Amino acid sequence: MNDLLETLLARLEAGESVVRAAIVAQEGSAPRAAGAHMLVFADTSIAGTVGGGLVEARVMDAAAVVLAEGLARVMDFNLTGEMAAGADMICGGRLRIFLERLDPDQAGLFAALRDRLETGERCLLATPLDAPGNGGGKILLAGDGSTVSPDKTPPEDQAALRRAGESLLAPACMDAGGRRYFLEPCQGRPRLFLMGAGHVSRATALAAGLAGYSVIVLDDRPEFANRERFPGVHEVAVADMEDCFAGRTITPRDMVVIVTRGHLNDATVLAQTLGTRAGYVGMIGSRRKRDAIYDRLRTQGVTDAELARVHCPVGLPIGAETPEEIAISIVAELIAVRANQGLPRHP
């Protein structure tokens, strides 16, 4: 629920109660997977989606009752017949959606979650599905071993939940201490390093931000690498391309896309990128350019196994020509790679 966290916190800190609807189980063909969220506010406006159509309309109706009465509930949907037509999907899927009211006194727990995610820490949010009231018993199991919980959940139950969440990549349900919990692995947005601040980088930054990436733009030209050109990114900085990752730790969750202003800079940045643990490395350019850069790097000792990590030409082959089209092809490839790696998704 990373992308909805700030919206939720703003409402709670303003003294409002909010209903959170979360898909806790999904089978077959369905518009959203387990972990997708929607927030429903008192004025009937929403943020996020659990799939749209008739399913979402019924969830919104139920949310009004949950908001008024404060009692959590579970809704099951068998997506056949009228329900499938309303969801505009193939028949046969099933959804279980959990609705809970979140009140202003829970702002502290969600603020703690936000603060930890901003540092890149992996956390586990455990919500009891049988809670008699509004989100009571929710537990935040932090990556450093600490726990944030409004009640006295037995330590053995906390330990069982933590063990279950260690290898969890997608939300799931489990039992502990006679209660059933909805477990959500939470981690900060994956970082995308855009090496270069030209037209393609600018369009890619916008598309990647919408797709849930924390975008960092690096270029050695201050007239390009600035907030005026990249107002919505996490960071934009002027960096020496000869030492572009100075002071930074690149992890397997990070993605690097090389779109500098020329072949020599591309080769320089690519050589440094291959020395990191980046989970994705992409470089713009034709196959002819790629081969020339690869030959150059081989003379510097870069192996074919290392070069095999590189996606070049970067992006899915959709016939893109304009910077905006190229950006869409790049971000589409990033999404595909993230899904294949089994990284936690951001609903």
Domain of residue 86, residue span: 16-104
Same domain, 49 and 97: yes
Q: What does the pLDDT read at residue 85?
A: 53
Same domain, 197 and 312: yes
- Mean pLDDT confidence for 139-143: 88
Work out how many domains the chain is built from and give that number. Answer: 3
Residue 5 placed within a domain: no
Task: Please identify, among 48, 77, 104, the residue that sits at the C-terminal boundary of a domain.
Answer: 104
55 vs 82, more confident = 55
Same domain, 333 and 292: yes
Q: What's this model's pTM, rounded to 2 decimal places?
A: 0.71
Same domain, 79 and 123: no
CA 322 from chain centre, in angstroms, equals: 27
Task: Please identify, among 186, 204, 231, the residue that sits at the C-terminal boundary of a domain.
Answer: 186
Same domain, 34 and 130: no
Residue 60 placed within a domain: yes
Residue 4 placed within a domain: no
Same domain, 68 and 202: no
**How large a percentage of the chain has pLDDT more than 70?**
90
Residue 207 placed within a domain: yes
Q: How far is residue 209 from each of residues 140, 192, 232, 282, measured CA to CA in Å?
A: 26, 9, 8, 17
Same domain, 155 and 229: no
Task: Please identify, among 162, 186, 210, the residue that sits at the C-terminal boundary of a domain.
Answer: 186
Same domain, 208 and 269: yes
β-strand partners of 184: 125
Q: What are the pLDDT digits (tens) for 22-76?
A: 998 888 776 677 888 999 999 999 999 998 888 999 999 999 999 999 888 889 9
d(CA 64, CA 17) in angstroms, rounded, equals 11
Residue 147 placed within a domain: yes
CATH of the domain at 329: 3.40.50.720
Same domain, 61 and 75: yes
Q: How far is residue 89 from each of residues 32, 37, 60, 75, measured CA to CA in Å?
A: 11, 19, 19, 19
Q: What does the pLDDT read at residue 173?
A: 84
H helices of 88-170, in order, are 107-118, 155-165
